[in-house]
Amino acid sequence: MNKAIERGQSFLDEAAERIRSRRIEEESTARGVLTRDAWPEPGEIKGEPHPVPPFEAETLLPPVLREWVMDEADRMPCPPDFVAVAAVVALGSLIGARCAIKPKSWDDWLIVPNLWGGVVGLPSAKKSPAISAALKPLERLIAQAREKQEAELEVFEANKTVFEAQTASIQRRIKGAVDGAKDVDLSGLKQELQHHLQQATDGPIPRRYKTNDTTIEKLGELLRDNPDGLLVLRDELVGLLSSWERYGREGERAFYLEAWNGNSSFDTDRIGRGSIFIPNLCVSIFGGIQPDKLTAYLEQIKNALANDGMLQRFQLLVYPDHRKWEWRDRAPNMEARNWAFAIFETLAKFDPVAWGAAPADEFIKFPHFHFNGPAQELFIKWSTELHTKRLPAEGDSLMAQHLGKFDKLFPALALIFHLVECATTGRRGAVSKDTALRAAAWCEYLEAHARRCYGLLADTELCAAQAMAKKLLHGDLADGFTVRDVIRKQWSGLKTKPAIQAGLALLEEEAWLRSEDIDTGGRPTRRYWINPRISELDKTEEHDD
């Protein structure tokens, strides 16, 4: 009986849908909507994202990384920017707080080269494969650390068994002496036990390089055991960013804000977990993000009463032009890959002081490098221009906050590239002018990408209209569609009613659509009729999804 009722209901629903579609067609025909000549020529949905420069590998990358990055990107293919920024952040996390750079000659201001970054692109842009390729050297180090820990753990467990047996033997002697009431030197046995227990050792602490998902409590424990820092890798950054905006998560936000500095101790106190003292809180962050989700987050922080510059800490956030897919199938450049892997392995165990860093002392907690004379002059000139010209002239508040954090970006990049050069050539000592010039070039390159990212907030109406226009060109919506029809699709950039309505309004202005309220016996339903002349427009644009 129930199945019969279901079949009957299904038949009624299909019949109602056919009647509705026929009515829409009749109404639209009566209005002349389907007559091509009745429509004006559709206008252009103008508006381009802020231009970004092509990735200039010769300028931005040291030779030892250049061929590897370009080869990995070309074989996918994906923008080389994706691979490059992920590799640079990984190198910064690998160096971490083992050393720092003093950007000024006499002041004790220190910069640790941990960096935050990410790649912005559509779901088909190969963000995840690019990040994976860039982190392969780090994954090799992780595998080596795991093998080393397993070997050390075997030795530790064997020693622990012997130690526990010796402890039990001493305890039996003490118990036997007490039970037998013998005239023995209990004080001597007590001292022997105390001396023995002092020889106890903790198990091997694994060297951690990254974590993908963790609470701040667990992250605090990892950082306590790895004070040089580690990388937090997230496939989707929005989840992490949004979690910090929720009520009651202020502690996590403060934790990460401090972790960006990379040079301070941190105490955490939790009921049930006790207290954890982190001698140095140093975290690097990297991940991917889609443009529409970044736009939603930007809208959120733009309207917030207090903006503490969390997103602006993502200095290596890049949003390059889409790279058209092409079939590629060739072997990797193994020589270039092996050189890159060797750089990571060298930097995982280098001695900063042996490479020319000034040793730490009671006032400066890290070994530290300096700029040489010409590099120092370059940095002074660059910093003076930033603070006296560019920042005062910046009209966008979010962008001004972003540029204000370039004070860390320039020296951190310079230190990373300096150490890559040291690992490659055997050079030692201060940071050179050529390396400082490379850091300056990165700052210019990253500023353009920051402007494109923050530009997503400038005109959400245009972004929604462009996204809708692509769907119309590809015939993904039927004539007479409604806003609800679009919402059901959950397309990128077209998931909320306000965004969809804003885009539809702009499309109407440019004669891509006409809308009309249809009387349905209750609240009128607004339907949108598609200009048939849009078929004359260029259909070569690719799908977003």
Average pLDDT, the chain: 86
**Quick check: 199 pLDDT over 90?**
no
Q: Quick count: other Cβ atoms within 10 Å of Cβ 231?
A: 23
Specify the pLDDT at position 518.
86
More confident residue, 108 or 502: 108
Determine the Cα–Cα distance for residues 254 and 218; give it in Å rounded to an integer.
16
pLDDT at res. 260: 94
| Strand, coil or helix: 104 | coil
Q: At what angle do helices 433-455 and 291-302 cross, to 10 degrees?
A: 80
Question: Vertex 358, ends 357 and 360: CA angle to 5°?
Answer: 115
**How far is Cα 155 from Cα 459, in angstroms, rounded to an integer?**
62
Nearest alpha-carbon partner for 113 in 248, 249, 235, 228: 228
Give the pLDDT of residue 160: 80
Nearest-CA neighbor of 220 among 145, 286, 284, 277? 277
> Please, which pLDDT band fits residue 16 given cuts at 50, 70 and 90?
low
Closest to 208 in 3D by CA, of 264, 144, 151, 256: 144
Topology, domain 30-47+460-536: Arc Repressor Mutant, subunit A (1.10.10)
Is the pLDDT assigned to residue 356 strictly greater than 60? yes
Q: What is the DSSP string of 357-399?
A: PBPP-SS--S-EEEB-HHHHHHHHHHHHHIIIIIHHH---HHH
- Residue 132, pLDDT > 80, answer yes
- For the chain, which residues make up each domain, given as ranges? 30-47+460-536
Range in 182-191, 435-444, 469-478, 489-498 the model is least confident about: 182-191
pLDDT at residue 61 greater than cutoff 70: yes
Cβ proximity of 204 and 152 under 8 Å: yes
Between 179 and 29, whose confidence is greater? 179
Token digits of residue 326: 């092409």
Average pLDDT score over residue span 511-522: 86
Long-range contacts of 252-256 (CB under 8 A, 24+ apart): 252/216, 253/308, 253/310, 255/216, 255/219, 255/220, 255/281, 256/216, 256/283, 256/285, 256/310
3-class state of residue 262 by DSSP: coil
Both structure tokens of 148? 């080393």
* Band (12; pLDDT cuts 50, 70, 90): low
Q: Which of 353, 447, 355, 364 is nearest to 104 (CA)?
A: 364
